[in-house]
A and B are shown apart, each in its own frame.
Chain A
Amino acid sequence: MLNYFIQNNIVSNAVEAMLFASIACAVLSVIITQVQISSIGFTMAHAAFAGATAGIFFSINPTLCAIIAGVSVAFLLGPLSDKARISPDTALGLLFGFCMAVAIFFIAYMQTLGRGFSATGLLFGNVISLYREEIYLLAFICIVAIVFIVVIYKEMTAIIFHKKIAESVGIRVRPVYYVMLFIIALTVALCLPIIGGLLLYVWLVTPAAIALQFCTRLSSMFIVAPAVAAVVSISGAVIGLEYALPVAPLTAVLFSLVFIVAVIISPKRRIATQKS
């Protein structure tokens, strides 16, 4: 798609992949931060990582395993908190610990067997050796995330506003919520190879946190967050490849820097300071 503008195929592919991944993650980051389920996103990212490492170990498609693991976490959370009589927060802590343990076990064991390299790539991401099919999949999930928001925007806004109020006005909160978790899990799994399990969380939270510094309406957050994420991710990819720096970690640092600048120049904070 970008071959007309960028001659180098590797750079072109990397930029395309980062663009699609960042838009998909940024759209979902608005939901994740506003519904306040960032712990779920965090645990899902690590579950997908654990799933992918297990997939590599057993020579099963890692992306498929990552999707299954991510979705399983989302669906296990409710029953686990109910059956074990623990808060969802504690259940997430347990699942997170379990996922990390599984991932580290397979990585360590594969290193013992001399097969550790490909799993290590899942930790920090890799934008260089991407197949065209992987980029098409990222484009697909990007479209799915956008269509999801457009189609059930009103239901989502009510859930974001107040889950219980949304239920009381007659919205079927549970199905919408589970579809949302499924799309987050799918996005996390597909973005895992290029962003990495340890850094994915930055893409799932920071774009919305930046947008929130400037937007007073939810609809504008859904535009600003992906726009900011796209610019930061493309910059990270271009700079990283130009100067032979690790792309995903560099982009994650750029996201954090942009967030700090956004907090400093936020008009909302200026108003708050004036009031106090």
Chain B
Amino acid sequence: MTPSDPLIRLRNVYTAYEGADRPTLTDISLSIQKGEFVVIGGPNGAGKTTLLETINGMLAITHGTAVVCGHDVRGDGVHVRCRVGYLLQNFAFDPLTPFTVEEVILMGRYGTIGLFRKPGEEDYMAVERAIRLLGIEEIKSRPIGQLSGGQQQKVLLAQNLARNPEILLLDEPFSNLDMFARDDINKLLTRLVDDGITVLIVSHAFDALPERPVRVVVMQDGKIILNRGSSPGEVELVVRGAGRGVSHA
């Protein structure tokens, strides 16, 4: 893989959930370079989460090619996932969940550590670094189930950062956060993109996006209907405009 190659390259990709008789994504083609900040918008059920899970190889690609971080997603999904962070949407942990914050963040390293091996010093240092980045030092020994939704969100973001990802896929990362936490995450995302990490974010909270040029990808009915650059202030207009354009047509 040369530096000019796109970090994510999808060509005519069709994706289907297990047992489904129809593809959820149809004919998706998308190229994303290292260090880009991509906002994925569109109505509910448009296929935004499915696109993220296709990129990290969690869903079966029924047709087309997908190369992420130089690995073919179809045959090498596990290696892709070791290099791609993915923050899921809508989670809530039971108060009796028997894991502390530190343990949860360390789990982010498990794929890279490999089977039959124990975490080493490097892994624990990565966990400490992620805890510092998110500013969650004071809650690191607490059970995750006893934290607020926003704190749990931060812990899972730290879990993803602990494995030093090349790409971060964030599905509604601002949904549980108050405005102060949103500002913190914004600053962090700006810093990560400046450091060369590619960020793809599915969000409806367009006012919470970092102040930097972004690429907007709008989806509808499992297809990409718009893919263009934008300033953060324009994102909402661009997404709404794309949606109207299709519904009018």
Contacts and interface: CB of A to CB of B under 8 A. Distances in A.
B78 A168 contact: no
Contacts of B226: none
Interface string A147-185: 000011011011001101111111110000000000000
Contact of B119 (A81, A82, A154, A167): A154
A218 interface: yes
Contacts of B204: none
A215 B163 CA distance: 29
Interface stretch (B97-105, B175-183, B188-196): B97-105
Given A157-B99, A158-B107, A216 B143 contact: yes
B110 A161 contact: no
Interface stretch (B1-9, B32-40, B81-89, B211-219): B81-89
Chain A residues touching B, range: 20 to 34
B96 interface: yes
A270 interface: no
A170 B58 contact: no
A25 B143 CA distance: 27
A216 B159 CA distance: 20
Contact of B111 (A151, A161, A170, A221): A170
B107 A161 contact: yes
Nearest to B119: A154
Contact of A161 (B56, B81, B99): B99
Contacts of B104: 161
Interface string B54-90: 0010100000000000000000001101100010100
Given A154-B118, A168-B58, 10 more contacts: A155-B110, A161-B99, A162-B88, A168-B86, A169-B107, A169-B159, A170-B112, A171-B111, A212-B96, A217-B99
The 8 closest A-B pairs by CB, nearest first: A170-B111, A170-B82, A82-B19, A170-B81, A168-B86, A218-B98, A169-B111, A158-B107
